[in-house]
């Protein structure tokens, strides 16, 4: 497969390159939530307490982070948007997932979000990372989504 993969702190300059090549299913998710891919990445970058970029051969291919929803209830919304290239390194992403998720939500008790029911690769990755993905669907702008979540012992 090849390709050097690194996870680095996200920078605003990573948004454009990822948005211009984002996976179709990620674009559909963003649009269902009322945002373009670029808007969603920019908002995630700005609102996340911690945010990272996955670089493949030095090129930004995915961005992910955690946004505090309630500091009192210790709840966070986690998100991950990327290109097809990043999913070509799924085995590596799976192996890094637990440590990245735990760093992202280190002081949160509950972390979760919604994922498109059609986003099979993301669902498998979330499950490999330890998230529960609910079987029930909820419609958002005509797109079926499933809630995913994790409760941490902190």
Q: Where are the domains of the chain?
A: 5-110
CA distance 32 to 26: 10
Fold classification of 5-110 (topology level): Aminopeptidase (3.40.630)
pTM of the shown model = 0.88
pLDDT digits (tens, 9 = 90+) for 76-126: 899 999 999 988 887 777 777 666 766 666 666 888 999 999 999 899 989
pLDDT digits (tens, 9 = 90+) for 127-139: 988 899 999 999 9
């Amino acid at each position: 497969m090849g390709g050097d993969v690194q996870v680095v702190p996200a920078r605003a300059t990573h948004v454009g390159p990822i948005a211009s090549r984002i996976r179709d299913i990620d674009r559909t998710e963003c649009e269902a939530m009322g945002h373009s891919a670029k808007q969603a990445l920019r908002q995630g970058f700005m609102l996340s307490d911690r945010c990272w970029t996955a670089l493949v051969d030095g090129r930004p291919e995915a961005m992910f982070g955690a946004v505090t929803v309630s500091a009192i209830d210790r709840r966070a919304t986690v998100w991950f948007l990327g290109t097809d290239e990043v999913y070509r390194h799924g085995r590596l992403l799976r192996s890094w997932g637990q440590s990245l998720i735990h760093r992202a939500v280190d002081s949160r008790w509950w972390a979760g979000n919604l994922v498109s029911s059609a986003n099979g690769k993301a669902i498998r990755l979330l499950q490999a990372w330890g998230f529960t993905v609910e079987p029930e669907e909820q419609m958002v702008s005509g797109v079926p989504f499933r809630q995913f979540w994790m409760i941490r012992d902190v």
